Structure 1
Amino acid sequence: MPTCNGQRPHTFPGSHLFLFIALLLTTVFNQAGAQNGAFRITDYGAVGDGITLTTLAIQSAIDAAAEAGGGRVIVPPGKYLTGGIELRDNIIFELQGGATLLGTDQLDAYATHEGTDQHGKAIQRRYLVSVTGVKNVLIEGKGTIDGQGKFYWETPAAPPPQWIKAKTPRPNALLEVADSENITIRDITLTNSPNWTCHIMHSQDVVVDGIRIINDLFAPNADGIDITGSQRVRVTNCDITTCDDAIVLKTWKDGQPCEDVTVTNCTLETLCAALKIGTESYADYRRITFSNCAVRAASRLFAIYVRDGGTVEDVLVSNITGSTKAPLVLNRPIQLMIAKRTPESPVGRIRNISIDQMSCETDGRILLTSIEPDRISDVRIRNLHLRYPFVEDPTAAGSDIKSAQFPTTLPEVLTAKAAIVAKNIDNFQLEGLTITWPEYQVPEGWQIPVRIINGDFNRKFRYDYQQPKQTELGVFWGENLNGGRLIIPEAAPSSPTVQKIELNNATIQYQATN
């Protein structure tokens, strides 16, 4: 019917009308989101069914927020299968409680950047969540990033304890912050990482607070938090369970130094080192603190490894308690080591290291070694308590060890029978050491049926736990110690028949009795 002006009214078929309303509502929602600074990934097409690949939808929400000058990108409850996503400047990325990002098994869907590995080799680096070359980013919430690492691992050849082998290629990190400034990561959970979990590389002013990392204890290279060549980094209140190093600092070839890093108030469990510096040590480390951490179990509570010529200096470690109850041989409460990665590698330095107030339940020895004199200096250990539920004989594995985590060129160190073993150190000070040796039987939790060795997929060790002491240990063994002092009158060897202190070519002063 014609209208009063002679024109027919405009009408919409049903499907066109629905499309018009949907587009109108989407525009309204997006405008409201932009006005409120909030961009929900579901408004951009993300489906939280754990099946539909939502990479483009998530990235679209991030890009829209960036184009608006910044904003809050919200991941609501649901499971979102995704490839690599990249955050932008001035973004708050909120994983709400009940929200999970699931890493896809399609490696070519990961974010890719041209880069290098730790030894300077050019590679393509792939991450699930990438924070690269940006400023002012906050990642927060009670949600989870799940890397589904099993897609990138071989099926274990034997039941635990057994290292899992990695497939190649695989992602480089679950979450990586690279060449960025003013970044905060807090409260989220990271789990099932196919490789490193949280990597902070060549960045400044980074805070990691209150996150949880939950990985398989035998997952390949699944470090918890790696801090590479970065400055002004604070890690606090984190809980980490993982296979490889829990919190580790590194410096890469042609990279930046690590400076002004603080780690505090964390709980850790790992089959490697709980708190570690190295082994990658091409540039220097300065002003590092580790404090107030509880280690449920680890192969080492604290370790420094210099193999690439760098210097580690001005490190404070305090108020650490824990256990080396890992299903490995040759666990060490503390290890400082200078070695060479290759025959051509320069020899680095470790100096001005202070360790105070540490208590460790252990089966192994503290190793403090350099391949050359005058390379480790000014090391102070005070108020240290070692409690032995079981004493391992270091000759069982130490006489044929090949792992680069040990001073393999110093065989006398590998088999020295003392609670603390030190070689080639200037001005070493040990004060306030106490040791509790095993009693009549090994506690059930320490009767580990099979033990494995770091870096070796084949060798297995089985101990007779009817013998709480597989050997007797002295208190201290030292060689080529120049200066310093031992004030350890309260520490006794595991048997009166064993020499308490054994020194070779040493000018160190000591007080062994009251």
Structure 2
Amino acid sequence: MTHPIWPRRKFLETTGKGLATLPFMASLPLPAEAQKPRKPTESHEPTGPAVHLNVRDLGALGDGKTKDTLALQQALDRCSVFGGGEVVVPAGDYLTGALLLHSNTTLRLEDGATLLGSPDIADYPMTQVRWEGRWIKGYGAFLSAQNAENVTILGKGNVTASPAIKGRIRNADGSPFVYSRQPGASNLARQDIIRNPALMEFTHCKNLLVQDIVTQGNDMWSIHPVYCENVTFKNVIIRSGADGIDVDSCRHVVIDGCQFDTRDDCISLKSGRGMEGNTIAVPCEDVRISNCTFTDATWACIGIGSETSGGIRNVLVEHCKCLGARTHAIYIKSRPGRGAFIENITMNDLEVSNAKLGFLRLNFLNSGLQDPYPVPGLDGIPTVRNYTFTNIRVTDVPVLVTANEIHPDKPLDGLTIRNVTGTCEKGLLLANMKNVHLSQIKVTGFTGPLISTYKVTGTGLTGAAPLEAPKVSGLIAAPATPYVLGQK
């Protein structure tokens, strides 16, 4: 099994080497001090023949009761066979099943137009979908594109999932999946489950733009690009009963000026889980998140991981407001058995408030489900390095930084935290790190020591209190039978 995706590359270890040609970034976040923010991407609407189709002319009613699936899909298909162009959806409520977009197509949702997801699960085709880092059987998304280029969805309209399709997964017979509350229950590690439809899903696409629309998801992930390149989400309002945008093994991604109101991670960066993701080895890389506002009711504003088996690198987050998180505003996570790397993460100019557990958590010991086929041995411990957080303003966070869940066999190499102001109840908990640089941390309101450490070296650590060693399990044993790509 092979995938028509970019080849795995050796990570560039010298500052800026080989990065000058990347279209979205003047400089990527590399070790610590001199950082140059990337230039914002420009809109890339498709070029080509000027086919202009109105879905009303192909029979769509937009009355909110009659299914318009056939008329809408015919408009998208007709646009494609004539070489591409624009499909316009005027004001109205268009009840529809799943729709597939093709190359060189702009779907324009005019002000007052709403695409309403059908409540009938039969209106979503069964296919292979990636979920929780593995390819499994599942229902295709409400809006999707596959192996397409120059796909645009824009306008002042709405894309709304059906609230009648509940849950993220089903049993193999289609019945609702019931989570076990028993200790040690495998739940999501099962292989006989079926994933419910995402709101939007793009697979193996290039030059994708989603701009200005308003989305309303149900309790499945909202927007999920997988194996995509040159992706922009600009000025999108994302409301979701689960994750907002899950960027999954994509590169050259810009998320700019978006507003999130979610019940799980507002943004999650992923790259596969276990030996499957590690063997495919497609990283999530070169991601810029800027000028966004985040409010989340259950998890984090930005989550990196825990599905990281293809690697995650070169992430820049800047000029964002984290206005609510049930856990931490920023949560970077993985575990032994994932392998690969999480490196070159830079965050600058963040405003953080109403984060129930704290500003930042790093957890590389026990986050997420263990895969049925984990990456064994020392290779299974993720490599983590080059994290920079500057110009952070926090308001009443319980803990400023929780970063003591790091494996001693692969300590974090390179952590810079500079110019942090505001109020917190506790300071920084750091363990198993080297090349740490702390400066201008001017928070108030905390009790106990500002900095507590275990096996940490660097600068700005004077006066740090001792911290208990983290609990670490043994290495994962190699399987008796080697993993074969494609097996369940």
Considering the TM-score relative to the shorter chain, is it more than 0.5?
A: yes
Which of 367, 378, 403 is 2:402 aligned to? 367
Q: Are the equivalent residues in 2 in contact too, given 1:275–1:290 (CA < 8 A)? A: no
Give the residue type in structure 2 aligned to 1:187.
D
Q: Specify which of 280, 291, 306 is matched with residue 265 of structure 1.
A: 291
Aligned residue number for residue 330 of structure 2 = 302
Say which one has the larger Rg: 1
Aligned to 2:251: 231
Q: 1:107 to 1:429 in 2, by over 3 A?
A: same
- Alpha-carbon deviation of 1:364? 1.7
The share of aligned pairs that are identical, in percent, is 26
Between the two proteins, the alignment pairs up a number of residues equal to 381
Aligned partner of 1:305: which letter?
A: K
In structure 2, relative to structure 1, the CA distance for the partners of 1:296 and 1:115 (3 Å cut) is closer
- 1:150 is displaced (CA, Å) by 4.8
CA distance, structure 1, for counterparts of residue 60 and residue 72 of structure 2: 6
In structure 2, the partner of 1:63 is 77
* Aligned pair partner of 2:198 in 173, 188, 192: 173
1:486 maps onto 2:449 in alignment: no
CA distance in 1, matches of 2:72, 2:340: 41
TM-score w.r.t. structure 2 length?
0.73
> CA separation of 1:183/1:233 partners in 2, compared to 1, >3 Å: closer, same or farther?
same
Q: Distance in 1 between matches of 2:410 and 2:194?
A: 42
Q: In the alignment, which residue of structure 2 is the partner of 1:502?
A: 465
Q: Is the 8 A contact 1:324 1:333 kept in 2?
A: no
Relative to total residues, which structure has the larger helix share, 1 or 2?
A: 1
Q: Map 1:6-21; keep pairs closer than 5 Å.
A: none
Q: Distance in 1 between matches of 2:153 and 2:467?
A: 54
Distance 1:295 1:47 in 2: 41
Correspondence for 2:314 among 275, 287, 312? 287
Deviation at 1:305, TM superposition (A): 0.8
Q: Find out whether 1:96 has 2:120 as its counterpart.
A: no
User: 1:121 deviation in Å?
Assistant: 4.6
1:58-137 superposed matches below 5 A:
58-137=72-151
Deviation by residue 1:437-485 (Cα, 9 ceiling, x = unmatched)? 18xxxxxxxxxxxxxxxxxxxxxxxxxxxxxxxxx4321111121x202
1:332 to 351, 358, 381: 358
Q: Counterpart of 1:207 in structure 2: which amino acid? A: T
Deviations 1:28-67 (A, max 9, x none): xxxxxx9962111111111111111111110000001001
- Per the alignment, in what secondary structure is the counterpart of residue 282 of structure 1? coil
Q: Which residue of 2 aligns with 1:353?
A: 387
Change (3 A) 1:74 1:333: same
Give 1:261's aligned amino acid: V
1:402 maps to none
Asked whether the 8 Å contact 2:381–2:410 carries over to 1, the reply is no
1:115 deviates by: 3.8
1 or 2 for the larger relative contact order (CA 8 Å, sep ≥6)? Answer: 2
Asked whether the equivalents of residues 289 and 316 of structure 2 are also in contact (C-alpha less than 8 Å), the reply is: yes
Task: Check 1:432–1:35 CA distance in 2 against 1; reply closer, same or farther (3 A cut).
Answer: closer
Provide structure 1 residue ranges, at least 5 long, that are not aligned to the other structure: 1-33, 156-165, 392-417, 439-471, 489-499, 507-514
> What SS does structure 2 have at the residue aligned with 1:281?
coil
Q: TM-score, normalised by structure 1?
A: 0.70
Gaps of 5+ in 2: 1-47, 169-175, 177-187, 470-488
Corresponding residue for residue 381 of structure 1 = 417
What is the deviation of 1:207? Answer: 0.9
Which range moved further: 176-185 or 370-379?
370-379
